[in-house]
Amino acid sequence: MYRTLLCLVTAVLLSACGIDYEGSTKYIFKGQIRDRNGQPISNIEVATFVYNGNAEDIISRDRTDSNGNYQMIFPKARNVKTSLYINSPFNGNNANAEYSGMVVVGIKQASIQNYTINFGATTLFRNDDAVNLRINLISISNRSILKIRPLGLVQYSEIEYDPDFFGIVDPEDQHYDPFNRLDYVVAKNQDLVIKYLLQDNTVHEVHVPVAADDVTFNLEY
Amino acid sequence: MKKLLLLLVLITGIQGIAQDTIQKKINTEYFRLYYVFPNGIGNNVLAKANNGVAGIGVFITLYSINKLHFIIGYEFSQYNVTDVSLAANVKNTYTSNFYFGALYKMPLLNKVDLTTKFTIGAFTLNQKSDGTKYGKQRGPAFTPGFDIDFKITGHLRIFAGLDYCLALPTTHTASEYKSFFGTLHQLNITTGIKF
């Protein structure tokens, strides 16, 4: 009797952990993938990832067509964090090894207008057009760094959907790209911005020029 | 003369009743169990992003008046998702239809009847993948159709038919996709037994 009850309770709890979908509401994510020259890239996989703290799911995926366009339509998931994975390791064997990948995080329900988000054009760079960037953290104050992100053409970069937001919602936000990651692969010949959040909740930016060789940047904070 | 007329009326009446009885025995359908070959048609998610696999249906006759039958039934079909960008990253789409309606039976040949029908149902579309559920869409469904049956023995008949199903599940999405998800057309082949 108790065993049966325990099984039932466990089953109920497990089902409660799953993601709750609303089948009658369909969201549309779309956009275009281009290279550094503005040319569309075909056959790049894009996936929509949802996570509710207990369960996760790739609810939709698509490959860019000959014009670099992608579009995914999927049911609304309630109370989840939503991310867009573009040619990332999360896409597994479907990732195109010739090009960089990235993830757009922090996509909120409120950002979805008319059931749609158009991510516009996203630029990927060729992996043979890249160099290494190492960031050395040099403490010159008593404030520690909570979050650091190089912004620009960065391999497996994590971009906030809301460009005005730069904070930490909770530690689970860092599951893809830990804030203390300091080694990056970045595209050659660009002006990178390194954005960082200090313990006193101040956000800072510093520009890092990247040429054709590996870069080591000393970040004093 | 009056006796002759009375006899004629009686004979005619009895013959009419007998014909009705025979006709009723031939045409009355009480139960139907059938296999469905589901098939989405047109420009909608069932047609463009799913492939019909199989389905099953059953109905019973609640009441019949000569050739007209009033029925209640349930039909369930499975589709495989073929385009995850349109139908979400799931394995299967399922449709079900709990319906009531009427059918009208017309004898064609000896042992062969044609049945036309029209049903109105409560349609549900849901998606599942390895036990995970992806929500439901519900709405009305309208299904005209017909079938031709062949008498095997007694009341037992086999049949094959064609149903067109227009389902209008509730959909909230961008206007350009409302019809794609909210106006579903199916042309289903059915075959089974009835008695």
Is pLDDT at A13 greater than 70 in this prediction?
no
Q: Where are the alpha helices (DSSP H) in A41-199?
A: none
Bridge partners (DSSP) listed for residue B188: B163
Q: A219 is written with which tokens?
A: 């970040």
C-alpha angle B53-B56-B58 in degrees, rounded to nearest 5: 165
Q: Which residue bears the tokens 């999927």? A: A74
Q: Which residue bears the tokens 């199903």? A: B165
Chain B neighbors of A71, CB-CB under 8 A: 85
Interface probe, candidates A14, A21, A116, chain B, greatest B C-beta count within 10 A: A21
Q: Predicted confidence band at A6 (pLDDT cuts at 50, 70, 90)? A: low
Q: Cβ contact (<8 Å) for B88 and A60?
A: yes
Q: Which one of A3-7, A15-19, A29-33 scores highest in mean pLDDT?
A: A29-33
Q: What is the mean pLDDT of residues A91-114?
A: 86
Q: B64 is written with which tokens?
A: 């019949």
- Contact residues, chain A to chain B, C-beta under 8 Å: 18-19, 21-28, 47, 57-63, 70-76, 114-116
Q: A45 is written with which tokens?
A: 């996989």
Q: State the complex-level ipTM.
A: 0.82
Query: CA-CA distances (angstroms) from residue B138 to A74, B50, B127?
Result: 17, 18, 12
Please report which helix (H) or strand (E) contains residue B176, including its range: helix B175-182
Nearest chain B residue to A50 by CA distance is B89
Q: Predicted confidence band at A201 (pLDDT cuts at 50, 70, 90)? A: confident
Instruction: Report d(CA A6, CA A173) in Å as an integer.
Output: 33
Chain A neighbors of B138, CB-CB under 8 A: 24
Nearest to A71 by CA among A61, A81, A79: A61
**Is B62 within 8 Å of B71 (Cβ atoms)?**
yes
Phi then psi dihedrals of residue A131, to 5 deg: -135, 175
Q: B15 is written with which tokens?
A: 């013959």
Could you tell me if B172 lies within 8 Å of chain A, comparing CB atoms?
Answer: yes
Q: Predicted confidence band at A161 (pLDDT cuts at 50, 70, 90)? A: confident
pLDDT at B35: 98
Instruction: Report d(CA B132, CA A18) in Å as an integer.
Output: 8
Is pLDDT at A89 greater than 70 in this prediction?
yes
Chain A neighbors of B133, CB-CB under 8 A: 18, 21
* 3-state class (DSSP) for residue A153: coil
Chain B neighbors of A74, CB-CB under 8 A: 88-89
Instruction: Write out pLDDT tens, residues B14-67.
Output: 334 444 444 445 568 899 999 999 999 999 999 999 999 999 999 999 999 989
* 3-state class (DSSP) for residue A208: strand
Q: A137 is written with which tokens?
A: 């953290």
Instruction: Report d(CA A146, CA A51) in Å as an integer.
Output: 23
**Of the candidates A47, A60, A115, which has its C-beta nearest B173's C-beta?**
A115
Specify the range with the lowest mean pLDDT, choosing from A96-100, A144-148, B52-56, B172-176.
A144-148
Is pLDDT at A178 greater than 80 in this prediction?
no
B166 CB-near residues (< 8 Å, 6+ apart) = B141, B142, B143, B183, B184, B185
Report the 10 Å Cβ neighbour count for B50: 25
pLDDT at A171: 53
**Is B79 within 8 Å of B47 (Cβ atoms)?**
no
Going along chain B, which residue ranges are E strands?
31-37, 40-41, 50-65, 68-81, 92-109, 112-129, 132-153, 156-167, 184-194
**Is A61 within 8 Å of A47 (Cβ atoms)?**
yes
**Of the candidates A26, A47, A60, which has its C-beta nearest B181's C-beta?**
A26
Q: Cβ contact (<8 Å) for B85 and A71?
A: yes
Interface probe, candidates A26, A27, A109, chain B, greatest B C-beta count within 10 A: A26
Q: Cβ contact (<8 Å) for A59 and B169?
A: no
Per the model's pLDDT, the better-predicted residue between A221 and B48 turns out to be B48
Instruction: Write out pLDDT tens, residues B88-102.
Output: 999 999 999 999 999
Q: Cβ contact (<8 Å) for B173 and A25?
A: yes
pLDDT at B131: 83
pLDDT at B165: 97
Q: Predicted confidence band at A156 (pLDDT cuts at 50, 70, 90)? A: confident
pLDDT at A173: 52
Could you tell me if B21 lies within 8 Å of chain A, comparing CB atoms?
Answer: no
Instruction: Write out pLDDT tens, residues B68-87.
Output: 999 999 999 999 999 999 99
Q: Predicted confidence band at A159 (pLDDT cuts at 50, 70, 90)? A: confident
Instruction: Report d(CA B73, CA B98) in Å as an integer.
Output: 6
pLDDT at B163: 97
Average pLDDT, whole number, for chain A? 86
pLDDT at B162: 98
Per the model's pLDDT, the better-predicted residue between A176 and A87 turns out to be A87
Instruction: Write out pLDDT tens, residues B92-147.
Output: 999 999 999 999 999 988 889 999 999 999 999 999 998 889 999 999 999 999 99
**Is A181 within 8 Å of A97 (Cβ atoms)?**
no
Per the model's pLDDT, the better-predicted residue between A43 and B11 turns out to be A43
Could you tell me if B56 lies within 8 Å of chain A, comparing CB atoms?
Answer: no
Q: Predicted confidence band at A168 (pLDDT cuts at 50, 70, 90)? A: low
Instruction: Report d(CA B70, CA A36) in Å as an integer.
Output: 67
Query: CA-CA distances (angstroms) from residue B9 to A170, A182, B12, B23?
Result: 92, 105, 5, 20
Q: Predicted confidence band at A109 (pLDDT cuts at 50, 70, 90)? A: confident
pLDDT at A206: 94
